[in-house]
Each structure stands twice: as structure tokens, then as C-alpha cells.
A and B are shown apart, each in its own frame.
Chain A
């Protein structure tokens, strides 16, 4: 393994801006006065509430679940009274039914919160526990982990990859977890290996985080069957298909899942959540959120309760410094710009990035000069300039014929474009049209 040089084809070097928060230890955020917990914060079916207005709930208590297999159970993140169940905006930009809990300040834990012994758990029990704990992909996609770990009979998995690339600029939560909780991350990985019956596992980390490499290496014993894979620092190294190719050399085609090449990828934060679920019986009711950007007075990595409003975490990070231009849920490359601060932290919230007004410059869009830089950086081997040109003309068929659906929406093309064209944006839009058209026919 060519440590430190592992990479994928394409990609782009983006400014990192990690220095704002990478040296800030994870700090436990104050629990909020009110928690707004969406019943739909994952890919799959929304949950139904299992508590009523007026009920008293405690930390870790299940408050929402779904009968559907592809869904993520939801738990109370504070102890208190259910005040309301209402529709609210979430950081994804969509509205979801939210359970509003008023904090009674007791921080009382639910009786279900108790640790187990990994050695006594069968693979099926591990996956069941993952489902019960509401663990969804914490790298941002929020795909239910128990679904990912339920491998169809005809598929054989031989490799697990933990994604610690954290290639998004600004975000440092995974980095801090690898520094501060390496044992838990490795423990979670061992549980995933056991659940899947896999011998070989890698933890992929970009070479701009050598301290994390060292920290994880210290937590691994030779008999664990776990190896750290040091990746080149390049965006989007942490994209699922990129990291699989970088570490195993296997290519996952368009529309295919990693399991078709025998690989399962999870984020390091997801692994930590699995460790918490097994060792302490903790479901996902909190996560590390990097509150950062030059629009924030004191950038921090906060361990925040799910349901904490963005405004509250911004306040705990010293508030805005200057006039905010954009407030982004996630990183600057793939994150979602918010129009209000009254959205709650959800399981997929890796960061709250505030760009001051002067950094949010609207640059004029110029005609494409056909420099071809978008082809160079596209990790999917696409020709963004042509797809985008068809997309802007709403030529769904042509865009489809140029393999628009293979786009992973990493934004590298838009980032590099000297004419500042909305390449990634227009391709994202036309993909929705293509899906709609396919459904119709």
C-alpha cells in the first residue's frame, strides 16, 4: 500500500481553512432549553411519533420510529416534557414533523441506556442494536446504518472502510474524534467487522491529519485486522466511490452500491456512534458539530444534542463576528445554505459554517471558454461543461446521454471554473428532471 499517496482520478486541491477549529478540543455544548427533534432526518421513511404532547421523556428514550425497514429511529436528546409536535424546517431545506421537548434541566437518562458486551453479541444482534439506536450515516448522507449492514444473501463483503478523510474544507469534527476518541472509533469498527463477518478493514485518513493517523495507529492492535490508509489530501477524497478506489482500486459504477464490489464504507463518527450504542447503550442523541468560519467569533467543535437550534450553537461559539453572509449546514463544497437559524441540529449535521458577508461575493457568470478544467477535476470522469450546457437548455435527454446521473455533486467543477459557471448546480437540477422523466416512462 502506497501510504500517503493513495488517491482517485481527478479531484481538486481546495483551500482547507481547517486551522480555525482543528486545534479546538471537543467541548460539550450546553443542552438547549428546547430541543426540536425532526422525525425525518435520514434517507428513508419518516418516523411516527411514539410519544404524545404532555408526556415526560428522558434522554435516550425512543420518541419516533417507523415500521419501514429503511428508516432511522429517533430518540429524545434532553429530559423534559413534549410541548408540541409540529412541522418545521430542517437544515436539509425540507419541512419535517418535529417533536418539541422543553428541558427540565434534570438530564435524566432513560432506563434503556445501558452498555453491553460486544463479545456476547451476535452479528444479527449488533445490526439490531444499530437499528434500535437510530444510527444513520454521520458523514452527512444519513443513510440508515442497519440497512447498509444488512447484506443481501448473494453478495459477499470482504472489506470495511472507515472514512476519516474529512475532505470538506473547514470541518474538523471527525479529525477531533480521531484524536480524542480513537479507541471508540476502533471499537466501533470491530463491531462493524463482526456484524459483517469481514476480516479486513481500513481507516482512510488524508495526509493533512498525520496526528490523527498516529492517534488511530496507537489504538489498533496487530490482531485487529485494521490498517490505516493514508490518503492524499485532495477533494473529494472522502466521497464514497473515491475512497473505495483510493484504498482498494475497485470502481463502483453509476447507480451501483459499494457492496457490489465487496466493500462497506462508514464514517468515523458513525463508528463512534456504534461504539457508544454498544458500550454505553447510547442511541444517537448527540453529535460533534464544527461551528466555524470567519463569520464566527470563537470557532468550536461542540458535542451538541440533536435538536439544538443552530442559533443556540452559534451563540455558544461567541456569536457572529461581523455581518453574516451565509450560514451553511455542512461544509462549503456540499453543504446547504440556510435561510434561517431556527433549524435544529440533526444526525447528519457535521458543521455550521458561517461565511461573513464579504466572503460571499457574487461573481458574474461568464461564457464557457472550454478550458477543460472541469473534466480534469471531475471524480466521475464526466464532461461537466457539456452536461451543464444541456442542463441550462433543459435538454433532459442530452444531459442524460452525457451520463449526468453519474455526477456525485461534489462541486469540484463549479469550484475550479474560471468563468464561474454554475456547473454542479445545473447538473444537480437536471438530475432531478432525469429521475422524474424516468419515473414517468
Chain B
């Protein structure tokens, strides 16, 4: 059918040289893609990655490389083993790798990082069905497994200068030691895992994700706001509140972990409940619990509550009277 027009009078004998393509509507698709979405998350993490290298030097490069490469290799291997299509080019394993690295202290040995990547990709992600099916955030799941397995290594925080140091939250929890200046907190020149220290760099990335409509602003904003309010209700001094917001993994968690598509609710109301739950748990763990930090466990607990939240927050169908 090379541009030729058939004789309309003789409509029984027309034979198309080539078949027209037939499918159901819609016949056009947007430019959105899974890869582009993952790329956006990676782009949003670039400032934090640069910051981690600036503050922690070669250790940060080392950890980022190990986790990303390991995550890709494990994903490739397990998909081959399970005879599933290999989808490492969707970049989701890269996102997991980067997030995992950013959740490790600078001195983490290489084999711990590799174990973390294996746990995240094989156990949390692929065993449950792969991309979109993980019931908890793979990087956070791996971090929890590492903290449980090697608590010493995973809490051996160092200052950017390489000297081991307590995190601001650790200092608050212990009730002794001197807190760093606020400017250092915002900039990131403090103790902690390599990706959580710089509030400003994480916020730049978070803002990018919101502008690109990759994440819903409600989850991070409500999460951080709830944490702050509950901390105050629990009697945390307002001068220490800044340290709670900027000093731990709250910003990294709120913008990059709690917003994980697969493990957070898809319903608008569900997102709000999820964020409030994360905030409440984080504050409770930090003040009433034995740990200085509570972001990882809060998000993980809310992750497993996600299917229930989704069931209970079915959106109203248009025109439906309830």
C-alpha cells in the first residue's frame, strides 16, 4: 500500500500490499518511561552524591561504585537465573545501589556493601517479583539487615575529616557532647552515613523530583512536619528540633525513601496517612525508643502497612455518593 489509492467502486477485490497496524485506542503515548523516571531519581541524587564525595572523599566513591556495580550484577544474575527478561537497563538497580551507598557510614568494608546490595536486589526486590513488586524499600531493607548483622560497623560514623564521631542525634540521645553549628548541619559537614549529612543538597534533589512530578510533595512535607510536631509534643526542646530535622536521615528518608513507588500507597489519602505514620514513628523511636535514629524502621514499618492503607483509602469514584 505504497501511497496508492484503491478503486472505491470495486471494494471486494482490494488487496493491501501490506497490512495496516490495528490495535485498541489510545494510539498515542506520552514520553514518560520507567527509565526516565529512574534517571530523574538518579539526577536528583547527584548533588548528594557530589556532597558525599566532597565530605568523605574516596570512601564515598568506593561505596557508590561497589553498591551500584554489585546491584547491577546481582539483578542481571538473578534475572538470568529466574529466566526472566533482563531489565537492568531500566536503571532501577542503579537507584537502589546509590540509595544503599548513601545509607552507609564512610568506613563500611566492601563486603558489607556487597552483601547489602545482594540483600536489596535478591531478597527484597527480585524474590517478591522484581520492579514494582517489592513490599519494602530495597535499600532500606538492606540497611536494616546490615544494621542487625553488623551493628558495630553500621554505626561507626565518622566525621568528614575521618575521625570517628557521634552523629548529632547520637549526641542528643546520649545527652552529652557538643552539637555542631547549624550552618554545618545545613551544609553537611557533620557525622553520619555518607548521603544524609547535607540537608541543602538533598533538598535540591527533592525539589527537582517534585518539579519533575516524579514524587508527590505531600509525602516528604507531611512526614517532616509530623516528625517535628510530634517531637515537640513529646517535649523536645525547640532549639534541638533543628538537629532532629537536619541531623539524621529524615530528609534523605522523607524525599527519597518514603516516596518509593512500590512500597508506599498509590492513593492520595493513603500517601498522607503513610507520611503521618512515618513521622509519628520516627519521633516516637527517637524520643521513646532506645535508638537515636528512627527513619529507616519507621519507613519500613509503614511499607508493610501500605497494602492495608491502600485498601482503606480507595478514592471516591467520580459522581459516587458516599
* Cross-chain contact A336 with B14 (CB below 8 angstroms): no
What's the Cα separation between A355 and B5 when bound, in Å?
A: 16
Q: Which residues of A contact B1 (CB under 8 A)?
A: 320, 323-324
For the complex, count residues of A whose C-beta is within 8 A of B: 79
* Cross-chain contact A335 with B262 (CB below 8 angstroms): no
What's the Cα separation between A428 and B25 when bound, in Å?
A: 10
* Cross-chain contact B131 with A335 (CB below 8 angstroms): no
Apart from A337-B22, A340-B20, A418-B30, what are 11 other A-B pairs with CB-CB below 8 Å?
A34-B8, A312-B5, A326-B27, A334-B25, A341-B14, A369-B34, A370-B132, A372-B216, A382-B315, A403-B317, A418-B36
Contact of A415 among B21, B30, B92, B129 (CB under 8 A): B30
Within 196-254 of A, Cβ neighbours of B (below 8 Å) are at 241, 245, 251-254
Contact with B along A24-48 (1 / 0, CB 8 A): 0000000011101000000000000
* Cross-chain contact A370 with B318 (CB below 8 angstroms): no
B261 to chain A, nearest CB (A): 4
What's the Cα separation between A324 and B1 when bound, in Å?
A: 8
* Cross-chain contact B20 with A338 (CB below 8 angstroms): yes
What's the Cα separation between A418 and B92 when bound, in Å?
A: 13
Range for the number of chain B residues in contact with chain A? 35 or more
* Cross-chain contact A336 with B25 (CB below 8 angstroms): yes
Contact of B18 among A319, A322, A323, A425 (CB under 8 A): A323
* Cross-chain contact A416 with B266 (CB below 8 angstroms): no
- Give B13's nearest chain A residue, CB to CB: A342
Task: Write 8 A-B pairs (CB below 8 A) sorted by A numbering.
Answer: A32-B8, A321-B3, A322-B3, A323-B3, A324-B1, A381-B316, A381-B317, A424-B26
Q: Which residues of B contact A381 (CB under 8 A)?
A: 315-318, 320
Contact of A309 among B2, B11, B33 (CB under 8 A): B11
* Cross-chain contact B317 with A416 (CB below 8 angstroms): no
* Cross-chain contact B28 with A319 (CB below 8 angstroms): no
Q: A371-B37, A418-B37 are in contact. Are A314 and B26 (CB under 8 A)?
A: no
What's the Cα separation between A428 and B24 when bound, in Å?
A: 9
Within 299-328 of A, Cβ neighbours of B (below 8 Å) are at 309, 311-312, 314-315, 319-328
Q: Which residues of B contact A416 (CB under 8 A)?
A: 30, 32
Instruction: Judge if B19 is at the interface, Cβ distance under 8 Å.
Output: yes
Within 233-275 of B, Cβ neighbours of A (below 8 Å) are at 261-262, 266-268
Q: Which residues of A contact B321 (CB under 8 A)?
A: 253
Contact with B along A384-417 (1 / 0, CB 8 A): 0100000000000000001100100101001111
Q: Which residues of A contact B174 (CB under 8 A)?
A: none
* Cross-chain contact B29 with A414 (CB below 8 angstroms): yes
- Give A423's nearest chain B residue, CB to CB: B26
What's the Cα separation between A319 and B32 when bound, in Å?
A: 32
Instruction: Judge if B133 is at the interface, Cβ distance under 8 Å.
Output: yes
